[in-house]
Amino acid sequence: MTVEKKEIRIAVTDGMLIPSSKDKSFVSAWMISLCIAVGSILFLCITKPKPYYEILKFLPDGILITFEVTIASIIVTIPIGLITGLGRLSKNKTINLIASTYVEIIRGIPLLVQLFFIYFALGEFVQLPDLTAAIIAMSVCYGAYMGEVFRAGIDAIDKGQTEAARSLGFNPRQTMFLVVLPQAWRTILPPVGNEFIALLKDSSLVSILAVSELLRRGREYASVTFEYFEAYLMVALIYLCITLLMSKAVSIMEARLNYYDER
């Protein structure tokens, strides 16, 4: 008996357009965008080293902080998303209600408001360091979105897989973590990658908490030199380069998963 596999993709409404792993052409929207971004940075730094090259030398600290916030947030976000997704699929009405309420509330409040609330409002009771408050707010916010990604990915797995695992003596926990989740990961990877990229872009909002990430470093340079156009142009181009490279990395990982799955 042969089982026909069908490829399932989860629709994503934010983040980058992940390059298709099936697109082998050299000239693509991704390649054109990357060439424009890198070429613009090189052209500006060579033709007008002052101020563009000076701005470029001023930003590395901010890029490092941006990655620190993003990576720390995603490490916390994935477990929150997994727990939330499993809660949304739970047959226990109480657990399902708690998970669903969390998703509804968090997705209904803008991230900027959550940042202000955690840092300033809760700061009246517990004073959190700037970076810690930023990571908590980003993780709580994106945990709700990631929960829906996990829920959709797990729900897309054929119920026959669960029945087959249970018939082999697997308990519900073993079935989920040894059978369902490994298969769901192939479907989940592109939207998880998209959420990761969206989280990196939204990390620019933590500049309001005095976290010296990429955007704030650009603002600091512009506030001293009054070269706002030049500073923000360089920041935008660097963000574009980073997100394009990350989207390509997600595409490569997806292609590798598909390759091993086919084997």
Tell me the pLDDT tens digit for each residue of 71-118. Answer: 999 999 999 999 999 999 998 999 999 999 999 999 999 999 999 999
16, 246 contact by CB (below 8 A): yes
On average, the pLDDT of the chain sits at 86
Cα 97 versus chain centre, distance: 26
Answer yes or no: are the C-beta atoms of 63 and 203 closer than 8 Å: no
Q: Which fold has domain 29-256?
A: MetI-like fold (1.10.3720)
pLDDT score recorded for residue 211: 87
List C-alpha distances in Å: 135 to 64, 94, 180, 200, 205: 15, 28, 30, 11, 11
Determine the pLDDT at residue 262. 57
Cβ neighbour number for residue 138 with a 10 Å cutoff: 27
Q: Are 195 and 149 in contact (CB under 8 A)?
A: yes
**What global pTM score does this model have?**
0.83
Across the chain, how many H-helices and E-strands are there?
A: 11, 0
Q: At 208, is the pLDDT very low, low, confident or very high (cuts 50, 70, 90)?
A: confident
CA–CA separation, 180 vs 9, rounded Å? 16
Lowest mean pLDDT among 6-10, 21-25, 90-94: 6-10
